[in-house]
Amino acid sequence: MRFLDAIAVVTGAGSGIGASVAMRMAKEGARVVLVGRTLAKLEHVAGAIEEECGRAAASVFAADVTQEDEIEGLAAFVQSEFGNVHILINNAGGSGQSSPILKTKTEDWDLVQSANLGSVFLVSKHIGKLMTEAAKAEPEAQLNRSIVNVASLSGYKAGAQIPHYSAAKAGVINFSRALAFELAPYGIRVNSVSPGFVETPLTAEGLQNARFEEAIQRKTALRRIGKPEEIANVITFIASPEASYMTGSDVLVDGGWLIV
């Protein structure tokens, strides 16, 4: 029960890694706020969490994390409903339309930057304010407060035909370091996690192609695709008090892609 009585905000929580993280944290005692654009998906995940936990463990808040006014609404909701927040998992994102750099449309570039890097900035800005205010109000409590931003293997090695995504995820890694330095005086830790190829809705279409899946397996030291739960295990460890001396780091969880 590493997250007993903690309030955790998880973006991109309607499926994949975000849903797995939310489930894991709720099972370990957290009250999770599920954030995403599609209310039906969030409600489905919330129902699964409450069935598994046997208690009211999940709240939903539909929002587009690229829109600042909607994130301001999220922060107001969290403040009103809970008056506190301990954990933030910035998981929302997407790879966008594939194209080489010289043929990438400006609007596609901007869209992917906004979804992957801009969203992390906006949510961290507004939820981070709540976290710092709560930390200042309880300076002696020394509670575990942590932000984990989901980056990508592509932030290390530029993916073919996804220059905007690779650039954005590299930005998430460095933004996390800057935020870690800024929030350290408040006892708030900030780290990032960079998954490799994982079975999620974002990769589902590509993995339907047998040749593509075989190529991924061949280029991965562990010879298989990752599962959302495996990434969630790492994220929840980093967010937990067990990683209390860890901030400003990125953890690569790629099955050994970079060593092949």
DSSP string for the chain: -TTTT-EEEEESTTSHHHHHHHHHHHHTT-EEEEEES-HHHHHHHHHHHHHHHTS--EEEEE--TT-HHHHHHHHHHHHHHTS---EEEE------S---GGG--HHHHHHHHIIIIIHHHHHHHHHHHHHHHHHHH-TTT---EEEEEE--GGGTSPPTT-HHHHHHHHHHHHHHHHHHHHHGGGTEEEEEEEE-SB-STTTHHHHTSHHHHHHHHHHSTT-S-B-HHHHHHHHHHHHSGGGTT--S-EEEESTTGGG-
**186 in catalytic set:** no
List the catalytic residue out of 156, 165, 186, 245: 165
What is the set of active-site residues?
165
